[in-house]
Amino acid sequence: MSDLKCINRLYSALFALHQEIHEFSENLDNLSQLLDIQKKLIASIMESEEEIRRAKAEKRDPGEWQFVRYNFLCLGDCLVFLYIDRFALKQTFFNVDNENPKQGGGFLTGKSGLAAELTALMDAISHDVPAVLCDLTNVVRYGDICLLGASDPVPLEVKSSKTKDSRGKRQKRKLETLTNFFENDQAENLRGFEGTTYRTAFLAEPKSFDGLLATAFTEATENGSAFFEVDGCLRFLITTTDGVESSELDMLFDGVEPSRSLYNFVNQLKSNMLWGCYFPYALTLSEPEHYAMFVRGEISVISMLDLNAFEREFSVDGVKVEIEATENDLQCKINFENLMTDEGIPSFIVGDHMMNRIWFDFLSPSWIVQNSRDAMENNSRFLKAQLLED
């Protein structure tokens, strides 16, 4: 079979599975379908891996095969995100010892423990517990299978032998550290940060502008491009053309100070396989045509964040917002001037990871800021109440 026929067949399988996953999302109790989807993912991922190996053996660029394999893993991510909160799943992506992402799983092809993992997966599902093979995902990097029946993910190792080497013992220790963090909502020196890390629930459900995005995709497919704005500070240009017209750029940057803007070509995040632990674009783009066009690069998503407008929009009610952006980092400092104490003005830092959810998760900047404000103000009221009791 020619490379073109094979890659097109794999893309057809990818797009069909995308539709099936969205149908499955309407009834998450259909665990037989959950298992069937995973069997299809395994077959397509293994076929992609064989093509990667063949390309490398023939000294050809395996990039396209690696990209299609990555997209099948993104569909595996969808299965996990349908059951588990996105912020809990962030913990399964990073090392417990440092700030770096944990190394992902290797190839399924030739994996000695795969048969045992499949047996454990089918056993869990036969007992009405939703579960996913970790190696079918980008995001769950601990354990072999992940149980999805509780509020937090439960990664489990599947024993393939009675003895453990030093690597196996390290993996077990890391998994225990992660499990303890989920169980206790706190951990000491987690990911290399000194002191105690606490986990608290968000006070409001994440607010996405995925509806605006879907409308813009439809408009762009009909007219060639579309434009929309979120929260008075974030602009998006969606285009199906090969390049961006100067008039479109003028619209994107109208009234914006260039040195105080952050331009982002979202397609590069996808093409460079950098989505990581963020909410899968395969879930955000529920319309089959929109998803297929984005994966194939037939539609482009360009964003521009106006930093001055961001500060103006959210510096209200005794709170001053400052945002800083460099080539490698974006963070927002929220100064609570209305909560000033003898020790000064308390502040809260919204870090790069959360700010990046503006274009990975398509979360509204207003929700990100308001959620941080609510958390800080609630904690402040709690501390004041404690002081009064004391």
Query: What pLDDT was estimated at residue 193?
Result: 82
Main-chain dihedrals φ then ψ at residue 257, nearest 5 degrees: -75, 115
pLDDT in tens, 134-157: 999 999 999 999 999 999 999 999
Q: Which residues of 67-88 are buried (b: 16+ CB within 10 A; e: fewer)?
A: bbbbbbbbbbbbbbbbbbebee
Query: Higher confidence at residue 74 or residue 379?
Result: 74
Dihedral of alpha carbons 292, 44, 64, 146, sign: positive
Query: What pLDDT was estimated at residue 375?
Result: 78
Query: Higher confidence at residue 166 or residue 87?
Result: 87
Res 114 pLDDT > 90: yes
Query: What pLDDT was estimated at residue 73?
Result: 98
Query: What pLDDT was estimated at residue 379?
Result: 65
Roughly how many angstroms between the first and final C-alpha of the chain, as a whole number? 77
Q: What is the pTM of this model?
A: 0.92
Query: What pLDDT was estimated at residue 287?
Result: 98
The radius of gyration of the chain from alpha carbons, rounded to an integer in Å, stands at: 23
Rounded-to-integer distance, Cα 283 and Cα 79, Å: 9
Provide mean pLDDT across the span 30-51: 98
**Residue 292's closest CA among 82, 68, 78, 80?**
68
Q: pLDDT grade, residue 223 (50/70/90)?
A: very high
pLDDT in tens, 347-370: 889 999 999 999 999 999 999 999
Residues in the chain: 390
How high is the mean pLDDT of the chain? 91
Domain spans of the chain, in order of start: 3-198, 210-384
